């Protein structure tokens, strides 16, 4: 378990650098990340390299016993490169170059850009490969799927399509291009979607373009990784990610990297509404599930957030330590806080670090110091891992298809995953969030919400899993489309109908309603959730459905819950089907939080999975194991004190470690 910070020596003079190294050493910081945005300082003019300032930082941190993650600075090419080589600039959805700004606006496919990128990477890795305290390299920064439409990328997309399809006739058939006279007559007509409203394009084209865009980013990562490994074959290599607008397929992107890194910014203001999910336990479990191994937090919350939006409130006392401890509990082996000191210039000058602009150590600094001491106390946990018996399936295609064609107002793919993850977290049962293509051996329960895009291999795997005794949960909007993003002409849930033993006879899209409220200075709109009451015998909580209502007709399934109102009163909404040796559940609506928790308890009981019956809402229990020894982490992720079964009282954002 390592604790660290992100540091920018290029922003400060030598006197500040010396002071910062001394302070970090005193606190017990043992790792820093540097140089991800420093290309202009590393290569101030084309072909002229300057590493003296970074050498000084590497020297001082190394002498202090602090290890270093260095970054390839390719997210931010120097301004001279944009000026002299404008062909490296990304193009937007309209095919026109984007305003370059200063960050992330390079085209990953541009041969000119890749030539410059290879030169700087080779120079840096060669220069620092023998530095004993340089322990890892981070590739670029917060990579998104490459949705560039420049001439290079248009040609790359056409080649990607030619590799996947044998002819334009095959594309026309797969896409259903007869709609709106969209049929191609020649491969030269195949171009990325560029409509002002993406939803106007053929959904088959847009899904394939996103697949290409993800593959393009994966290729870019491999391009950099290959250079690094050629020069320094024994160094660890990663890249940092976040849940961005155009997410690449994380499972593909990290497949050949050594470990996953994530930029973690949990909320500083917790919602009062009990139905609102906010815990970053979901994000952490998603990161661990990408490679099904421990991961790093490359950026962690350190203070108020603000730059391109109004500043947030400052983190409450206990949040910095608590959120870092939460990450360790879910499998993080290192947590680096962003950033050590708050910047005094640039767009992120209000994205606060451990030290404020005053340069005077304050409350957050002292809390970070306490965190450093806490981590040192638990060195024995190093090498331990998280092992769970519940899997939640995530699919990159599912996420993008849902985003492309919204199913109901307020209904989102990630929300469906979070609701099920939260239900098991609320009863102290750990969840692995894994790729839908992964093997399912070792899991007692598999949760597979919104399998919107069907894939033959995934479908066969789920049938086999249940046949052999597994417990599977499917939800509404499953089996809707084929792998080309076209609707299947069959009763929902189509390919899963036999497995769950039900058919959808009709559905009611209830979404959210928007109400306009008049005020003195004008009007504003507020969204209100619509719900349907459900009748569920044996469940002692109020049960409602929202967003979407499948009206079910059972074949072999047993009914667990029925709708209690509207014209479909008495119609099944939640079912359970015995299939061969296993059980398949179907949830035909979006349940409220307490209902999902009740369902999680039922599923855990039926397969003999231990759980906490009376865990207070917002208290999280996770477990790390090593060599037969277990450490139980109990985290109070609320604004209130909570009492748990052991009789202990947990303060807000407090972590207890029980052997």
The catalytic position among 43, 299, 348, 436 is 299
Q: Cα(37)–Cα(34) distance, rounded to whole angstroms? A: 8
573 neighbors 545 (Cβ within 8 angstroms):
yes
User: Given 10, 142, 162, 409, which residue is catalytic?
Assistant: 142
Question: Contact at 8 Å (CB) between 12 and 21?
Answer: no
Q: Is 299 a catalytic residue?
A: yes
Q: Interior CA angle at 325 toward 319 and 329, to 5°?
A: 140
3-class DSSP state of 646: coil
Contact 332, 381 (CB under 8 A): no
Burial annotation 495-518 (CB, 10 A radius, 16+ → b, else e):
bbbebbbbbbeebbebbeeeeeee
Closest CA to 459 of 483, 425, 433: 483
Angle between helices 203-231 and 151-164 (to 10 degrees): 100
CA 518 centroid distance within chain:
38
| Best CA proximity match to 302, nearest among 369, 373, 365 | 365
Q: How far is CA 580 from CA 421, 466, 468, 498, in A?
A: 26, 7, 7, 11
Copy the structure tokens of residue 95.
Answer: 């095919």
Q: Can 48 be counted among the known catalytic residues? A: no
Closest CA to 385 of 330, 446, 324: 330
Q: Compute CA 332 distance to the chain's CA centroid, rounded to the nearest angstrom.
A: 15
| b/e map 78-88, b = 16+ CB within 10 Å | beebbeebeeb
Do residues 71 and 32 touch, judged by C-beta distance below 8 A?
Answer: no
Question: Phi and psi for 43 in degrees, rounded to 5?
Answer: -135, 75
Distance CA 417, CA 398 (A): 11
Catalytic residues, by residue number, are 142, 299
């Amino acid at each position: 378990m390592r604790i660290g910070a992100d540091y920018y020596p290029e922003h400060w003079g030598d006197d500040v650098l010396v002071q910062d190294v001394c302070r970090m050493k005193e606190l017990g910081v043992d790792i820093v990340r540097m140089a991800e945005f420093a290309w202009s300082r590393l290569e101030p003019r084309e072909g002229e390299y300057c590493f003296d300032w970074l050498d000084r930082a590497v020297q001082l941190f190394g002498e202090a016993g602090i290890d270093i993650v260095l970054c390839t600075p390719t997210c931010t090419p120097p301004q001279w490169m944009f000026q002299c080589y404008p062909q490296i600039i990304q193009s937007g959805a309209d095919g026109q170059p984007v305003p370059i700004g200063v960050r992330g606006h390079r085209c990953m496919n541009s041969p000119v850009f890749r030539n410059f990128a290879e030169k700087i990477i080779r120079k840096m890795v060669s220069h620092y490969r023998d530095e004993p305290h340089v322990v890892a390299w981070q590739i670029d920064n917060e990579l998104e799927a490459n949705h560039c439409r420049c001439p290079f990328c248009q040609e790359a997309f056409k080649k990607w399509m030619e590799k996947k399809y044998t002819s334009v006739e095959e594309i026309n058939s797969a896409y259903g291009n007869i709609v709106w006279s969209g049929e191609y007559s020649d491969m030269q007509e195949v171009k990325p979607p560029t409509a002002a409203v993406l939803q106007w394009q053929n959904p088959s084209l847009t899904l394939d373009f996103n697949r290409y865009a993800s593959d393009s980013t994966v290729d870019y990562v491999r391009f950099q990784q290959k250079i690094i490994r050629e020069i320094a074959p024994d160094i660890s290599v990663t890249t940092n990610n976040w849940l961005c607008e155009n997410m690449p397929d994380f499972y593909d992107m990290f497949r050949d990297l050594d470990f996953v890194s994530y930029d973690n910014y949990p909320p500083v203001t917790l919602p009062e509404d009990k139905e609102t999910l906010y815990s970053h336990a979901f994000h952490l479990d998603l990161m661990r599930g990408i490679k099904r191994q421990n991961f790093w937090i490359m950026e962690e919350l350190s203070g108020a957030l603000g730059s391109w939006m109004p500043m947030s409130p400052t983190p409450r006392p206990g949040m910095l330590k608590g959120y870092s401890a939460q990450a360790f509990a879910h499998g993080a082996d290192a947590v680096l806080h962003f950033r050590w000191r708050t910047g005094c210039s640039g767009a992120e000058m209000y994205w606060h670090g451990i030290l404020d602009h005053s340069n005077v150590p304050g409350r957050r600094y002292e809390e970070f110091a306490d965190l450093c001491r806490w981590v040192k106390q638990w060195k024995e946990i190093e090498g331990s891992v998280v092992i769970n018996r519940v899997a939640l399936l995530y699919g990159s295609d599912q996420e993008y298809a849902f985003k492309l064609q919204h199913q109901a107002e307020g209904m989102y793919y990630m929300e469906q995953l979070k609701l099920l993850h939260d239900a098991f977290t609320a009863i102290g049962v750990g969840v692995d969030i894994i790729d839908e293509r992964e093997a399912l051996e070792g899991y007692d329960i598999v949760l597979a919400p919104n399998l919107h895009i069907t894939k033959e291999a995934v479908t066969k795997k789920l049938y086999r899993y249940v046949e052999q005794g597994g417990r599977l949960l499917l939800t509404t909007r499953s089996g809707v489309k084929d792998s080309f993003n076209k609707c299947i002409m069959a009763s929902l849930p189509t390919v899963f109908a036999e497995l769950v033993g039900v058919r959808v006879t009709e559905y009611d899209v209830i979404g959210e309603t928007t109400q306009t409220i008049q005020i003195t200075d004008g009007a504003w709109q507020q969204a209100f959730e619509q719900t349907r009451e459900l009748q569920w015998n044996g469940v002692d909580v109020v049960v409602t459905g929202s967003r979407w209502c499948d009206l079910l007709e059972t074949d072999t399934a047993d009914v667990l819950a029925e709708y209690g109102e509207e014209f479909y009163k008495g119609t099944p909404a939640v079912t359970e089907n015995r299939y061969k040796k296993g059980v398949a559940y179907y949830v035909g609506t979006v349940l409220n939080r307490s209902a999902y928790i009740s369902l999680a308890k039922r599923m855990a009981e039926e397969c003999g999975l231990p759980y906490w019956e009376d865990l207070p809402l917002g208290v999280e229990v996770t477990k790390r194991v090593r060599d037969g020894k277990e450490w139980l982490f109990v985290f109070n992720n609320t604004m209130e004190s909570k009492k748990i079964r052991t009789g202990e009282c947990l303060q807000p954002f407090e972590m207890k470690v029980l052997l």
